Amino acid sequence: MAHNTMLLLLAICGLISTVGLTLSPADLLRPTAASWGTRLLLRHAETEPAAVDFGGTTRYPPLAVLRPASAGDVATLVRSAARLSSRPVPVSARGHGHSINGQASAPGGVVVQMNSFVGPLRRRMAAPVYSASVGGYLVDVWGGELWADVLNWTLAHGGLAPRSWTDYLHLSVGGTLSHAGISGQAFHHGPQISNVHELDVVTGKGELVTCSEEQNSELFHAVLGGLGQFGIITRARIVLEPAPQMVRWIRVLYSNFTSFTRDQEHLISLHGRLRFDYIEGFVIVDEGLINNWRSSFFSPGNPVTIGSIGGAGRVLYCLELTKNYGRHTTAEEVDEEIEMLLQQLDFIPASEFITDLPYVDFLDRVHKAELKLRAKGLWEVPHPWLNLFVPATRIADLDRGVFRGILGNKTGGPILIYPMNKHRWDERTSVVVPDEDIFYLVAFLRSAVPVLGDTTKSLQYLNRQNQQILEFCDSTGIKVKQYLPSYNGRAEWERHFGPERWERFLRRKAEFDPSCILGTGQGIFRPVSSPFSSLTPS
């Protein structure tokens, strides 16, 4: 794309503002609003929930919320919003509202509430079908469908399941595909965006387009990991596999970080049958329990602490592994394979903990913990999360400077750390990862739950600590990339993407959303508040 065209795009997107907008939602949507009836929500009480998200640190009220009954509704809305050429109005898709810095918001615009689809179930998910060209089963699902419901549907229709997951299943399909979708299976199957065969997308021009590797491939790869900038996913064709019945779930502990990372990187290099199906790790400091809100691995009546295994006063690292079985593998065969794998690892001998549970229960483990936290009023609190992709060659520096330095012995929540293989990621998508064959996710999943007399659990403290972590990485030359990124201003976004990928990002934006009306809550082409400013929780 010509340099002048890119400059024009930036000028248009930078100058568009909803400040001073005098149109009412009814005026904006008058050509089509009558046909939507009660699916278009205009009253403050109806739109207010869409102003906040799981992060709990931002509030961006929309003008209206649309509960679509079809992809055609979404396309009609976007065309109406884009038609106001003098002042196009923002439109953003929202699934389960699990964004953390207002990324799914539409300040002064219209939020499309994708998980409020009002059509019948058969229009949201079709029965899985076998594809000879793919060599497996596929399922078509509505973009706002929750992964938990996709799992239940495919299990009930052939005992099948998607093969790549997130740790939390109550996220929308379109939402995770707009970022990447990662969990402990990503080292082998790749992220969720590497396991989708076809999409229906409403572009920023209001065009409903079917795209795949072979058809409209530029849009297909742009939307995957595209942060909602190029289109709204209304249908996704997901790759499936036969679901296992049971999971052997293992946790082992390390006191030596080098051994911990060396073993993780060894395990993700294994191929064939003799390997684990899921590999994640997390950091434990002196104050923490080995158990945490992400699971119910240990009995609440018999919690396991660091001190109970002689780890008091140290940082420990937990390696979490699973082996699936029950369809073509017996428990005895799994025992033998796990023993062979564990013999290759250098963990603390007395720290091996093993349990068995149904496959579905393992996948849904975080939701069960969510229900307990909701009952205590500890779920809907601010979540100043920071998720980083870290090059494997610098992960030890992060341990020294952050886990053993900046954090002290206060974490504020789980800290995940696990490696992935870059060759499982498609560089044609919009996701940005470090330029190394192996990189780690390091996720600081903290909750701001103020405690009288303890400022380390406040939102302000955790935000400031997040900033310190980023500044440490910058000052020491650790070239991290944010996952679920949130930056301040165009210069930071350019740096995130790098020159070539930024130019491609701009070219795709000009092609698929020339009015810059999509994904404005992300703050790439329209300014939003800093995620590290001291904001009052909603």
Residue 82 is predicted with a pLDDT of 86
pLDDT tens for the chain, 538 residues: list them: 444 434 434 443 443 344 444 555 456 555 555 566 678 898 999 999 999 999 999 999 999 999 999 999 999 999 988 886 567 789 999 999 999 999 999 998 999 999 876 655 545 788 999 999 889 999 999 999 999 999 999 999 999 999 999 999 999 999 999 999 999 999 999 999 999 999 999 999 999 999 999 999 999 999 999 999 999 999 999 999 999 999 999 999 999 999 999 999 999 999 888 999 999 999 987 555 455 545 545 544 445 555 655 555 578 999 999 999 987 777 788 999 999 999 999 999 988 999 999 999 999 999 988 998 899 888 999 999 999 999 999 999 999 999 999 998 778 889 999 999 999 999 999 999 999 999 999 999 999 988 877 888 899 999 999 999 999 999 999 999 999 999 988 899 999 999 999 999 999 999 999 999 999 999 998 655 433 333 322 2
What residue ranges do the domains of the chain occupy? 129-242, 246-482
* Annotated active-site residue in 53, 73, 167, 265: 167
CA gap 446, 448 in Å, rounded: 7
* Annotated active-site residue in 149, 263, 265, 280: 280
* Superfamily name with CATH number, domain 246-482: FAD-linked oxidases, C-terminal domain (3.40.462.10)
Q: Is 167 assigned a catalytic role?
A: yes
Residue 88 is predicted with a pLDDT of 79
Q: Is 280 assigned a catalytic role?
A: yes
Q: Give the pLDDT confidence of 471-492 residue by residue, as tens digits.
A: 999 999 999 999 999 998 889 9
Which SS3 state, helix, strand or coil, does residue 500 take? helix
CA gap 35, 104 in Å, rounded: 25
- Locate the DSSP E strands across 121-195: 129-131, 136-142, 160-162
Closest to 243 measured CA to CA, from 350, 150, 105, 134 = 150
**Sheet with strand 316-325: strands edge to edge:** 353-358, 246-254, 316-325, 278-284, 415-421, 438-444, 386-391, 481-483
* Annotated active-site residue in 53, 73, 98, 188: 98
Q: Give the pLDDT confidence of 428-452 residue by residue, as tens digits.
A: 999 999 999 999 999 999 999 888 7
Asked if 393 and 480 count as a contact pair (C-beta separation under 8 A), the reply is no
CA gap 426, 191 in Å, rounded: 10
Report whether CATH 3.30.465.10 matches the domain 129-242.
yes
Q: What value, to the nearest 5°, has the Cα angle with vertex 302 and ends 300 and 304?
A: 100
